[in-house]
Structure formats: C-alpha cells, structure tokens
Amino acid sequence: MALIKTCKGNTPIIPDSCWLSENSTIVGEVEMGENCSVWFNAVIRGDVNSIKIGKNVNIQDGAVLHCTYEKTKLILGDNVSVGHNACVHGCKVGSNVLIGMNSTVMDNCIIEDNCIIAAGAVVLEGTKINSGSIYAGVPAKMVKKLTPQLFENEVKRIANNYRMYAGWFEE
C-alpha cells in the first residue's frame, strides 16, 4: 500500500480506479482524477500548496511533484505522462503532454496541450510552452513542432500503455 499522509488537515483524494505502487508517497492537498498511476518511489507532495491531477495521468518511477509555499500550485491536465525521475514543480501542464525522463519543469511554467518536454530538459521558471511544441535542452528551447505521428507514437501511446501496465499489478 502506498504511503498516503494527511498534512495540515488535507488528505489526498484518490479514486479507486487509480493504481499506486506500494512505495509511492502521496501527501496533503492532492486530488487525482480517474485511472491514474503512481509508480515506484514517486513522490507527490501537496504539503505546501495544492496539486490537482487530471484523468489517465501516469507519474513514473522516482518522479517528484511539488509546489512552492504560498506561491505556486501544480495542475496537470488529462493524459499526462511524467517520466522517470522527472521533477515537476509549481506549474500548469495542459492535457496530452509527455514530460520526459530526468527533466525538470520549474515554478510558474505553463505547458499548453499537446506538447513534449524531451528527456533531460530543464524548463526554466516562468516559461510558456505553446500547444504543439517539442522543447529540449538546458535551458529548454523549442526544437520543433509536434507532428500527428509523434503525438500518436509517443504522447498518446505512452499514456495508454501506462494504463495497461497498471492493470498488470491489479490481478
């Protein structure tokens, strides 16, 4: 069973349709949508501000979701994949977004719908990423537009696969 902790009177709201690994940690003011998965050693810390997660979101192994006290909240849309060891902090992420492995998204960033943040990218504080963009590098810069093929083969495929993977553990 995942470590689910109340903090400052706020207990995470997690639908029964979500799958949580036994060593994931979810704390405080966190609200998750249906069919989410939180993987091994992932941490979602809604202790200093709120975290709202849409439907069919996967938070992969070692990822950290957090905010800044009294300044930033974290909002993730639907069908978001947060890659292994990524850090997503105090920002707003639209729907159908892939945040790559070992990437960092800082406070006050806005990532619109249908985007990819490449593995290892660092999205600096306050960056706005327009819909349909792929950002990569340190600091992250737009490298190209998201094609329909990349959307299907990466963003959509990964989100759907993680729903399937979670089902393997529910038997």
For residue range 138-155, what is the model confidence (pLDDT) as tens digits? 999 999 999 999 999 999
Band (170; pLDDT cuts 50, 70, 90): confident
- For position 8, what pLDDT does the model report? 97
CATH superfamily for domain 3-169: Hexapeptide repeat proteins (2.160.10.10)
Residue with tokens 């393997």: 168
pLDDT > 90: percent of the chain = 98
Joined together, the tokens standing for residue 149 give 């093929």
Q: Which one has a higher pLDDT value, 61 or 170?
A: 61
- pLDDT higher than threshold 90 for residue 171: no
Please report, for residues 13, 72, 92, 121, 136, the alpha-carbon distance to residue 107 in angstroms, rounded to integers and kept in the order given.
Answer: 23, 7, 9, 15, 18
**88-119: b (≥16 Cβ within 10 Å) or e:** bbbbbbbbbbbbbbbbbbbbbbebbbbbbbbb
- The string of pLDDT tens digits covering residues 19-73 is 999 999 999 999 999 999 999 999 999 999 999 999 999 999 999 999 999 999 9
Mean pLDDT, the chain, whole residue set: 97
Phi-psi region for residue 70, left (φ > 0), alpha (ψ -120 to 50) or beta? left
Structural contact between residues 46 and 6, judged by C-beta atoms closer than 8 angstroms: no
CA–CA separation, 129 vs 117, rounded Å? 9
> Is residue 92 scored above 80 in pLDDT?
yes
Domain boundaries, the chain: 3-169
Classify residue 90 as left (phi > 0), alpha (psi -120 to 50) or beta: left
Closest by Cα among 108, 139, 109 to 121: 139
Give the per-residue pLDDT at 90.
98
User: Does residue 1 carry a pLDDT above 90?
Assistant: no
What pLDDT, on a 0 to 100 scale, did the predictor assign at position 102?
Answer: 98
